[in-house]
Amino acid sequence: MWEILGGDLERVIITALEAAGAPEKTTRLVARHLVDNDVIGHHSHGVMRLREYVDAIDRGSLIPDARPRITDESTSTARIDGGWAFGQAAAEFAVDVAVRKAREAGVSAVTIRRVCHIGRLGRYAEMAAEAGMAAVIFTCGGGRGINQAPFGGLDRKLSSNPIALAFPSELEGPYVVDMATSAAAEGKVRMHRAQGRETPDGWLIDRNGNPTTDPRDLYDGGALLPMGHTEGHKGYALAFMVELFGGILSGGGVPGDPADSFSNDSVFIVLDPGRFAPIDELTGRAARMTDHIKDTRLRDPARPVKYPGEIEAAARTANRNEPIRLPEATRDGILSVLRDLSLPEPAALRRGL
Ligand SMILES: NC(=O)c1ccc[n+]([C@@H]2O[C@H](COP(=O)([O-])OP(=O)(O)OC[C@H]3O[C@@H](n4cnc5c(N)ncnc54)[C@H](O)[C@@H]3O)[C@@H](O)[C@H]2O)c1
């Protein structure tokens, strides 16, 4: 493992993305997303993605200076063409449009297609909640990046198809659930592989359909299993619905389509809770409900019950000024990008543990 301060890490990512051809505003936005994901402990969607994004630019499947644009809209809806811009930039654009429209109309639905990897969905749901809105986001893989088997099947047929929901709160952070509909995000399997760790039971099958805990099997023809283990029908059914909401509704790609590129085709549904009751009344009731739920006997006294989103909110506060610990493989990935872009190795990347 090695460690680095978030500010130093952000500067390294900004420099690399600038050298790869991204405009300054975009580099700052993408770097902020990646480092924030590492700060809150979601390393699967942190700076380890730099190598993949720079490779996508090289292949021409990510256009670093592209801008998403609205192709069709009404008071409460919009369709956005992501233009193969950075997914983080396109998703921020979509959530801004959705929040603006929900403020006007009470509720909005905004789709986006032709969009590169948007990373951690929870951040966009949090942004809506920070603006006083409730939000639901469905995101698929655009017919490529297929890595999840349907419940009862042994072949890859779906993407890991995440869902995020957020609701404003008066607590440290908004209520947020943000999860793959597969047992875990693919990036988490990649993190296990990078650290030479086995994956938990119920995450994976190998190419022959046998259960496995070897993360390498996923990259050798295996598949992610749907969330829920023996009750995987629930994860699968959700993953299926994500293809409808994220892929079919957006006009993006779905499994079975000939898809040249991975695309995080999505729908952002945003709702103004203030149209239903005064916001203080809603968040006050939610806080009292949270207290009630947390007031329980515990299986393990060292592990209190949390509200959804609490772990990330607390980690963001606690870790903001702390060094971030990352696996060596992540540093190697960043260094390889810097070398390819003929950039010097910054001193901040030399510090080990
Ligand atoms: N862009 C993409 O294509 C894509 C695809 C798949 C997943 N992802 C992202 O991967 C990330 C990880 O997904 P995952 O399914 O592995 O998530 P996870 O299993 O780490 O967490 C799922 C959710 O459970 C909540 N949670 C965890 N422990 C909790 C507890 N004790 N009490 C209450 N809530 C708790 C978390 O806050 C989170 O919202 C997500 O951010 C997701 O958006 C992205």
> Do residues 223 and 149 lie in contact, with contact meaning Cβ atoms separated by under 8 Å?
yes
| pLDDT tens string 276-295 | 999 999 999 999 999 999 99
Question: Would residue 215 be called left, alpha or beta, if left means φ above 0 and alpha means ψ between -120 and 50 degrees?
Answer: alpha
Q: CB under 6 Å to ligand 1: residues?
A: 42, 44-45, 117-122, 139, 160, 162, 164, 176-180, 184-185, 188, 264, 306, 308-309, 311-312
Cα 178 to middle of ligand 1, angstroms = 5
| Band of residue 351 on the pLDDT scale cut at 50, 70, 90 | low
| pLDDT tens string 223-266 | 999 999 889 999 999 999 999 999 999 999 999 998 888 999 99
| pLDDT computed for residue 276 by the predictor | 98
Q: Which domains does the chain have, with CATH numbers?
A: 1-65+322-353 (1.10.1530.10), 66-183+225-309 (3.30.1370.60)
| pLDDT computed for residue 352 by the predictor | 64
Average pLDDT of the residues of the chain? 96
| pLDDT computed for residue 235 by the predictor | 98
The pick from 179, 267, 290 for probing ligand 1's pocket by mutation, whose C-beta has the most ligand atoms within 8 angstroms, reads: 179
Cα 283 to middle of ligand 1, angstroms = 23
Residue 15 reports pLDDT greater than 70? yes
| pLDDT computed for residue 353 by the predictor | 62
| pLDDT computed for residue 200 by the predictor | 97
| pLDDT computed for residue 259 by the predictor | 87
Dihedral sign of CA atoms 77, 116, 35, 137 in order = positive
| pLDDT tens string 99-138 | 999 999 999 999 999 999 999 999 999 999 999 999 999 9
> Do residues 72 and 81 lie in contact, with contact meaning Cβ atoms separated by under 8 Å?
no
| pLDDT computed for residue 229 by the predictor | 87
Stretch 32-48: mean pLDDT: 97
